[in-house]
């Protein structure tokens, strides 16, 4: 399963974009309709993956602009070489069928793009918070106001939850595609700070950090802290064993150090999970499932998948 996940991520994010761009470069003069169907399919797939691909932190966040430039250069070269003189082709059935298939696939990819454009359409009012991580470049792996960019969205309490990773200087979230050791992930051990002034109403820090892809569904939240701020309960989950610096009953100020990012609970790799619900609640089912999820903004910014934060 792990190897299939790695293969699928690399294939969709790297192999297919390269193959599509090379297809344009190597396209034979079979008529303008066929050529432009290839161009449209390539452009729609590159746009689809750039906006909705969840694995850019795995393979490098620099790739989408690289593919965009490569696409533009190859297209310019083909136009300068000269496009086919005719719109059609002597190989009518084969070419028109292939062109029609390209257009259908293009329509499928293009139809999903509005879901990304609508991903910032959250329900008002939002809870304004301070970003809970500092000292790095952070990447939103899951987040936004629909299920295509946020796998938490169908769960009422987690509707606006964020999964946050950190990027190293090369634009990767870890030293490798899916290393097992949590220490190999850039975010592991990163300091977590209080996103608001409030009270610690729940805290757990005794669970042992797991290797990547080893989940603990019996302890869904892992090591965690719940803060009560401005009439909302804010969950910070999957914290590092023994890193908690606060306990239940403490009052914390905005920006105060709370704990470190770990890999505990129902998580596949080190990251910080944060979401907010309405009211003062600590019960696991309510905080994780049945509570009323509330949108969060950070410096007035509602974050969605693919956003980067320099903090």
Identify the helix (H) or strand (E) that includes residue 10: helix 2-10
* Residues 68 and 158 grouped into a single domain: no
Q: Are 91 and 226 part of one and the same domain?
A: no
Helices (H), 219-287: 284-285
Same domain for 159 and 204? yes
Residue 137: inside a domain: yes
Residue 211 burial (CB count, 10 A): 12
* pLDDT per residue of the chain (311 residues) written in tens, 0 to 9: 778 888 999 999 999 999 999 999 998 767 788 899 999 999 999 999 999 999 999 999 999 999 999 999 999 999 888 877 677 666 676 778 888 999 999 999 999 999 999 999 998 999 999 999 999 999 999 999 999 999 999 999 999 999 999 999 999 999 998 999 999 999 999 999 999 999 999 999 999 999 999 999 999 999 999 999 999 999 999 999 999 999 999 999 999 999 999 999 999 999 999 999 999 999 999 999 999 999 999 999 999 999 999 98
For residue 125, say if its preceding peptide bond is cis, omega within 30 degrees of 0: yes
- Confirm whether 155 is domain-assigned: yes
Q: 66, 91, 117 — which closes off a domain?
A: 117
31, part of any domain: yes
Does residue 136 sit within a domain?
yes
Q: Look up the domain containing 43 and give its range.
A: 2-117
State whether 143 and 278 are in the same domain.
Answer: yes
Q: How many domains does the chain have?
A: 2
* Tokens representing residue 294 in the block: 């509330």
37 shares its domain with 164:
no
Q: What is the CATH number of the domain that holds 283?
A: 2.70.70.10
Whole-number pLDDT of residue 5: 87
Please tell me the distance from the alpha carbon of residue 91 to that of residue 41, in angstroms, as a whole number: 21
131 and 110, same structural domain?
Answer: no
Structural contact between residues 277 and 292, judged by C-beta atoms closer than 8 angstroms: yes
3-state class (DSSP) for residue 251 = strand
Question: Across-strand partners of 198?
Answer: 252
Please give the pLDDT value at position 32: 83
Structural domain contains residue 122? no
Do 64 and 88 lie in one domain? The reply is yes
SS3 310: strand
Both 163 and 306 in one domain: the answer is yes
**Would residue 83 count as lying in a domain?**
yes
Domain-embedded: residue 147: yes
**Do residues 200 and 145 share a domain?**
yes
Given a contact cutoff of 8 angstroms between Cβ atoms, the answer to whether 226 and 208 are in contact is no
In a domain, 60, yes or no: yes
Residues 54 and 130: their CA atoms lie apart, in Å, by 24
Whether residue 96 sits in one domain with residue 133: no
Q: What is the pLDDT of residue 81?
A: 87
This prediction has a pTM of 0.93
Number of Cβ within 10 Å of residue 291's Cβ equals 24
Q: Quickly tell me which residue has 């696939």 as its tokens.
A: 105
Both 15 and 66 in one domain: the answer is: yes
178: left (phi over 0), alpha (psi -120 to 50) or beta: beta
pLDDT score at 277: 98
Determine the Cα–Cα distance for residues 42 and 68; give it in Å rounded to an integer: 10
User: What is the model's pLDDT at position 94?
Assistant: 77
Q: Report the C-alpha gap between 225 and 41 in whole angstroms.
A: 46
22 and 143 housed in the same domain:
no
Per-residue model confidence (pLDDT) at position 45: 98
């Amino acid at each position: 399963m792990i190897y299939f996940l790695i293969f699928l991520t690399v294939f969709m994010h790297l192999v297919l974009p390269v193959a599509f761009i090379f297809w344009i470069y190597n396209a034979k003069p079979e008529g303008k309709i066929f050529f432009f169907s290839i161009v449209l399919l390539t452009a729609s797939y590159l746009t689809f993956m750039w906006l909705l691909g969840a694995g850019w932190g795995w393979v490098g966040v620099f790739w989408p602009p690289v593919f965009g430039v490569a696409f533009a250069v190859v297209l310019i070269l083909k136009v300068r070489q000269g496009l086919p003189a005719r719109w059609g082709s002597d190989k009518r059935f084969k070419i028109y069928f292939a062109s029609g298939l390209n257009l259908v696939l293009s329509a499928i990819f293009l139809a999903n793009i509005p879901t990304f454009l609508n991903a910032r359409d959250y329900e008002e009012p939002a809870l304004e918070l301070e970003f809970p991580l500092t000292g790095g470049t952070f990447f939103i792996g899951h987040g936004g106001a629909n299920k295509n960019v946020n796998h938490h969205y169908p769960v009422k309490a987690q509707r606006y939850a964020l999964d946050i990773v950190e990027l190293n200087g090369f634009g990767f979230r870890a030293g490798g595609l899916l290393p097992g050791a949590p220490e190999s992930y850039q975010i592991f051990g990163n300091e977590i700070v209080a996103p608001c002034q409030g009270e610690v109403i729940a805290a757990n820090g005794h669970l042992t950090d797991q290797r990547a892809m080893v989940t603990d569904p019996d302890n869904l939240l892992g090591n965690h802290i719940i803060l009560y701020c401005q009439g909302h309960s804010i969950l910070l989950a999957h914290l590092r064993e023994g890193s908690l610096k606060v306990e239940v009953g403490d009052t914390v100020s905005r920006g105060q150090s709370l704990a470190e990012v770990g890999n505990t609970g129902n998580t596949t790799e080190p990251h910080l999970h944060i979401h907010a619900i309405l009211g003062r609640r600590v019960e696991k089912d309510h905080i994780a499932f049945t509570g009323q999820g509330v949108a969060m903004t950070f410096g007035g910014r509602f974050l969605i998948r693919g956003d980067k934060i320099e903090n």
